[in-house]
């Protein structure tokens, strides 16, 4: 894993691990590293939230790839720092996972799945 604030100088080749993800403005490097390290586990936990959200329930079993990460939009519920992970499914659907940070713990807090 590496962080690049400017243009990405290379992209992974087929069969090579890694996928670039957009870092949204105002996200600190420390927060970005914590989110990147925990994103797979956060997505797994968020799948439980998918079942309770009518717009996300049908996407629960799809494969997702991280597309972007950054601060949650203004007005996101919950105390502590709030972040957003944006995923794209293998079928082109988008899922957004709101993540709450309390001390060093990251928790999948809410999900939304905009209509395609």
Any domain includes 90: yes
Q: Minimum mean pLDDT among 1-15, 74-88, 94-108: which range?
A: 1-15
Residue 82 forms part of a structural domain: yes
The answer to whether position 10 is within a domain reads: no
At 36-73, the pLDDT tens digits run 999 999 999 999 999 999 999 999 999 999 999 999 88
Our count of domains for the chain comes to 1
Look up the pTM and report it: 0.82
The 3-state DSSP class for residue 33 equals helix
CATH code, 106 = 3.10.450
Instruction: Return the pLDDT at 7.
Output: 58
Asked whether residue 5 is assigned to any structural domain, the reply reads: no
What 70-79 contacts at long range (C-beta under 8 Å, 24+ apart), as own/partner pairs, is 70/22, 70/23, 70/24, 70/25, 70/26, 70/27, 71/24, 71/26, 71/27, 72/98, 72/99, 76/109, 76/110, 77/109, 77/110, 78/109
d(CA 88, CA 6): 22
The answer to the question of residue 65 being in a domain is yes
**113 neighbors 56 (Cβ within 8 angstroms):** yes
Q: What is the pLDDT of residue 58?
A: 94
The domain of 58 spans 40-112
Mean pLDDT, the chain, whole residue set? 84
Q: Which of 33, 29, 43, 19 is nearest to 99 (CA)?
A: 43
């Amino acid at each position: 894993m590496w962080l690049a604030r400017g243009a990405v100088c290379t992209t992974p080749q087929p069969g090579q691990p890694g996928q670039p993800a957009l870092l949204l403005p105002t996200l600190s490097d420390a927060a970005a590293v914590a989110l990147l390290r925990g994103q797979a586990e956060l997505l797994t936990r968020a799948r439980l939230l998918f079942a309770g959200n009518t717009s996300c329930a049908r996407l629960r079993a799809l494969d997702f790839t991280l597309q972007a990460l950054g601060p949650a939009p203004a007005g996101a519920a919950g105390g502590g720092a709030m972040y957003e992970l944006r995923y794209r499914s293998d079928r082109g659907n988008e899922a957004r996972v709101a993540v709450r940070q309390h001390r060093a713990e990251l928790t999948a807090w809410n999900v939304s799945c905009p209509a395609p």
